[in-house]
Chains A and B, each alone.
Chain A
Amino acid sequence: MGHYLLRRLLIAIPSILGISVILFTVLALAPGDPFEELATNPNVPAEVREMLRQKFGLDDPVAVRYFRWLAAMAQGNFGFSFASRIDVGTLIMQRLPVTLLIIGLAQLLALFIAIPIGVYAATRPYSIFDQIASTFAFVGFSLPPFFTGLLLILVFSIQFDWLPFVYRADIDATGWRWFWEHVRQAIMPVSVLALFLAASLTRYVRSSVLDVIRLDYVTTARAKGLGERVVITKHVVRNALIPVVTLVFLQLPALFGGAIVTEQIFRIPGIGSLLISAILANDTPVVMAVTFVSAILVVLFNLIADILYGWLDPRISYG
C-alpha cells in the first residue's frame, strides 16, 4: 500500500504540471482582453489601455508569463485579479463558504434521498415503487438544472411569492430569524442541485444493492432467521455502499466551482459564478487559480477514492 501511494503521488506531480501548462496556454491564446470595456469608451485614450496592458505584463511572451505564474504559485501566491486588484486567494476565500454551504448541502440532501429510495427500490424490484422511483430518476437526470431552477422560481417566487430568489450572502438579522432567512433562500438552489445529483445516485445505489442481495451470504443470513430489516441494513447496505462511496468521493471536487449554471440563476456568490465572470472579463489570474485548484482537487480525490476503495473492500489489495 505504501509503495502504491508513493507511486501515485509521484505520478500526480507531472500530471498536475502538465494540466497547468495546458490551462495557461489555452487562456493565453484565447481572444479578448481584460480591458475591452474601455475600448468603447470614448473618454479613455488609447495610451492608457496600452499602459495598463504593460503594467499587468500582458504583452510579454507566453512562456515568460507562465514561469512567472508558476514561481508565484510555488510560493503560495495566487496573484492579483486584473479587474479588481484584489488578492486572488482572498477572493476565493470570500466565496468558498457560500459554495461549500449550498453545494455541500445539496450533496448531503442527494445522499439522504438516494440511499433510502435506491435500497427500497432494489428490495422490491419492478414493483410500483420501483417504477415510480426509476421514472423520477430519469426525469431528474434529463431535466437540466437551469430548467428546474427557472421552473421553481416561476412557481415559488413569482406565482406564490413564498421564497426570495436572489441569494444574499449576508443578511442582517440575528438568531432564529437569520437562520430562517438563510433556509428560505437556500431551499430552491439546494433542491435543484440535489434533484439532479440524486437522480443518478438512486439508480447507482439500486443496481449496487441488487448485485449484493443476490449473493449467498445474504441467503445464509435469512436462513439463520434474521429479520429482513436487519439483513438489509446490517449486511446488504454496508457492502453495497462501497462502490457508491467511491463514486461520491469522485464527485466531491465538483463542490469547488461546480454548480455554475445554478449560481448564475440564483445569483449565488459562489466559486462557479466567480469563474464565469472571470472568464467573461478575461481575468486570467482568477481563472488560472480556480481551474488549477479544481484540477488538483480532482487528482487528489481520485487518489483518495482509490485508497478508500482498497481499504473498505478487503478483496482488493494494491501490491
Chain B
Amino acid sequence: MDEKALRGLIADVKDGKLSRRSFVHRMVALGLTAPMATQMLTWSGLPAAAASEEKFKYKPTKRGGGGPLKVLWWQGATLLNPHFAIGTKDQDASRIFYEPLAGWDPDGDLFPVLAAEIPSRENGGLAADGKSVTWKLKRGVTWHDGKPFSADDVVFNWEYASDPASACVTIGSYKDVKVEKVDDYTVKVIFDKPTPFWADAFVGARGMIIPKHLYADYKGDKSRDAPTNLKPVGTGPYKFVDFKPGDIVRGEINTNYHIENRPHFDTIEFKGGGDAVSAARAVIQTGEFDFAWNMQVEDEILQRLEKGGKGKALITASGNIEHIQLNNTDPWTEVDGERASAKTKHPLLTDKAVRQALGLLVDRGSVEQHIYGRTGIATANFLNNPERVRSKNMKWEFNVEKANSILEAAGWKKGPDGIRAKDGKKLKFVYQTSVNTPRQKTQAIVKQAAQKAGIDMELKSVTASVFFSSDVANPDTYSHFYCDLQMYTTTMTQPDAGTFMNQFTTAEIATKENKWQGRNITRWSNAEYDKLHKDSEGELDPVKRSAMFIRMNDLVCGDNNVIPVVYRPRVAAIHGKLKADISGWDTDMGNLKEWYREA
C-alpha cells in the first residue's frame, strides 16, 4: 500500500465512508501500530474519537472501600526506582507509586495522567516543525509526602535520566532531548531534529516522574545510594508501606490522590516468586490472588484451569513476535577471532531458494493450535500490532511439497542419506533457542518438516539466563549467533515502530568490536532498508511514515531474512470479579487507578 492509497483511505474516514476502527484495523494489517494510525488521522485533521462503548468504564462512586488488592508477579520486584527498572516486573512495581505525564490506552491513544491535557496541533502543544512538544501539567497534584508537584520535578527527571553517570536504563528516551521549564506548570521538550514520535519522554513505562526534592542529592554517581530507591515517594494512587526485594511490595490508599473517586482498593499487595503455572492456579483456581502477570503457560493448561475456576485468562494484544532468525554470516568460520563475522557470508542461507524453502517448512498453524493456543497467533509479519495494523502483503504457507520442488529446481539434490546437497555442501543447520517447553516443541515440529524436505537440523537449547545475557566471552548468547538458525521473542515495548525496526539496519550489526551489543543480530544489510529507516526517523507526516514501515516490514519478511512464527499477545490471569484496564502499549499496571472489583 503506498502513500496515495493511504491518503485515499483517510479521505474515506473523513467522509464517513470508512469507520475509524476499520481504518486502524487496516493499518495494523499493514504492519503499523494503532497509535500511529490514530496519529495519522489526527494529523489529517480528524479529532480523537469519542469514548466508545467498549472503552473501560469505572463504576465505583467513591474512593476506597474495595478492600485489599492482591497481585502476583512470579518474578519478584527487586527495586522501586523506575529509572533503574530491569524488566517489566520492576516497572510495574514502581507504577504503583509513580506516574508519568501520560499513558497509552488499549486502542493506542494517549490519556493524560500528570499532564492537564494531551499536546496536539490544535491546542498548540505540538510544534508545526516537529521539533518541540509543550506539556501543560496538572495543578494541585502533591507527592505522597505532601510537597507540591511542579515543572521543576519534570525538568529534574530529564537531568537525572540523561546523565550517563547515573546509568539509568531510561537514558535512551532522554539523552537526545532538552527540557525547559516555561513556568511552574508548563514544560517544553525540545528535539534537535523533527521527531515524529514525540511521545517517548515522560510517557508510559519510561516516563515515570521521581521527586526532585528527594533525589536532588543523588544524581550521577550517587544515584544508586538514594534511600528513596527503596522507599518510593510518588504521586500515584497508593502510598508506600513496605518492600522486601524479590518478595513483596505493599501499598496503601493515597487519600490525597489527584483524581476523584480513585483508587478503589484500600491496600495493594504485590507478591513475587514461584513459577507461572502455580501463579495461574492461585488466581484462576483458588482465587487466593486477584491478578497474575505474564502467564507463560501453555494454553491447554490455562483452559483446564478455567473450567469451573474463579478466574480466567486475560489476553491483550501487543507487539511481541516469536521469530526464527537466519544467519547472513558464516558461524563456522573464524575471522580475526570472531565467528559469524560481518565479513563472511553464509554458504547455504544466502541462497534465496534455501530461505524460501525454510519459510515454507514452519508449520505455524500447528504451532498455534497445539502449543501456544490463544497465547500465540500464527503470522507472516515481523511488525504486528493490534489487529488493525498488520501488512496484508505477507502471507504464510506451510507446504513441504513446494519446499521440495523449490530446492530441487535450485539444484539441491538429495544424496544417499536423504540430505540435499549442492557443490559438495550439505543442507545441515544448527538451530538454537532458549530452554522453554513451548520453544522445544516448536523446534521439534520444524525439524520434522525439514527432514521431509531433505534438510538436516541439529537442535540446541541454551538456558535462558545465558542465552539472553550480554556476556562478551560466552559463545552461546543470542547476540553472538554462533549457529545457523535461532529463535526467540523480540518485545516491542513502545507503540512506535521506529526503535523496533532499527534491528535490521546496517549500523546496528552486532560485532566483536561493539561487544555484540548491536541490535542487528542477523547481520542483514540492505541499502534500501537503511535509507527508509533513516527517512522514517525524520518524517513528520504519519501517513508517509506508515507507508515506510510497511515497506520495511515487507523487505525483511519478503527476503525471508526472518521467519515470523507467532505473534504473542500478553496473557495475564484475572479473578472473575476484578475489572482491570490493561493496555498492550503500556505495562500491566499502567492504569492501576482504574481497577475495581465488582460487588
Contacts and interface: CB of A to CB of B under 8 A. Distances in A.
Interface of A: 31-33, 35-52, 55, 81, 83-86, 91, 94-95, 153, 157-158, 161, 164-166, 168-170, 172, 264-265, 267, 269, 273-274, 277, 280-282
A48 B246 contact: no
Contacts of A264: 273-275
Contacts of A86: 230, 245
B273 A277 contact: yes
Contacts of B476: 31
Contacts of B269: 168
Interface in B234-283: 242, 244-248, 250, 267, 269, 271, 273-275, 278, 281-282
Size range of the chain B interface in the assembly: 35 or more
11 contacts: A36-B468, A37-B87, A44-B169, A45-B171, A47-B164, A85-B224, A91-B245, A165-B286, A269-B273, A277-B273, A282-B465
A37 B286 contact: no
Contacts of A46: 514-515, 517-518
Interface string B129-164: 000000000000000000000000000000000001
B366 interface: no
A170 B269 CA distance: 10
Interface stretch (B25-33, B486-494, B588-596): B486-494
A33 B282 contact: no
A168 B271 contact: yes
A39 B479 contact: yes
A36 B470 contact: yes
Given A42-B493, A161-B286, 18 more contacts: A31-B476, A33-B469, A36-B471, A37-B468, A40-B488, A42-B491, A43-B173, A43-B493, A45-B171, A46-B515, A48-B168, A84-B78, A84-B246, A85-B79, A85-B230, A269-B273, A273-B246, A282-B469
A35 B86 contact: yes
B76 interface: yes
A125 B244 CA distance: 51
B124 to A, nearest CB: 29
A169 B248 contact: yes
B372 interface: no
Contact of A170 (B169, B229, B242): B242
Interface of B: 72, 76, 78-79, 84, 86-87, 164-165, 167-173, 206, 224-225, 229-230, 242, 244-248, 250, 267, 269, 271, 273-275, 278, 281-282, 285-286, 288-289, 465-466, 468-471, 473-474, 476-479, 488, 490-491, 493-494, 499-500, 502-503, 514-515, 517-519
B286 A157 contact: yes
B570 to A, nearest CB: 16
A32 B275 contact: no
A165 B282 contact: yes
Instruction: Point out which of B169, B248, B275, B477 has the most chain A C-beta atoms below 10 A from its C-beta.
Output: B169
Contacts of A50: 515, 517
Contacts of B245: 81, 83-84, 86, 91
Contact of B164 (A33, A35, A51): A51
Contacts of B499: 42-43
B172 A43 contact: yes
Leading 7 A-B pairs by shortest Cβ distance: A46-B517, A36-B469, A84-B245, A269-B247, A84-B78, A83-B78, A39-B470
A273 B229 CA distance: 23
B167 A52 contact: yes
A157 B274 CA distance: 16
A273 B517 contact: no
Given A94-B244, A269-B244, A274-B246, A164 B288 contact: yes
A159 B265 CA distance: 29
Contacts of B488: 40
A32 B434 CA distance: 13
Given A42-B519, A52-B167, A86-B245, A170 B250 contact: yes
Contacts of B491: 40-42
A148 to B, nearest CB: 15
Contacts of B473: 31
B510 to A, nearest CB: 10
A38 B289 contact: no
Instruction: Point out which of A31, A51, A273, A282 has the most chain B C-beta atoms below 10 A from its C-beta.
Output: A31
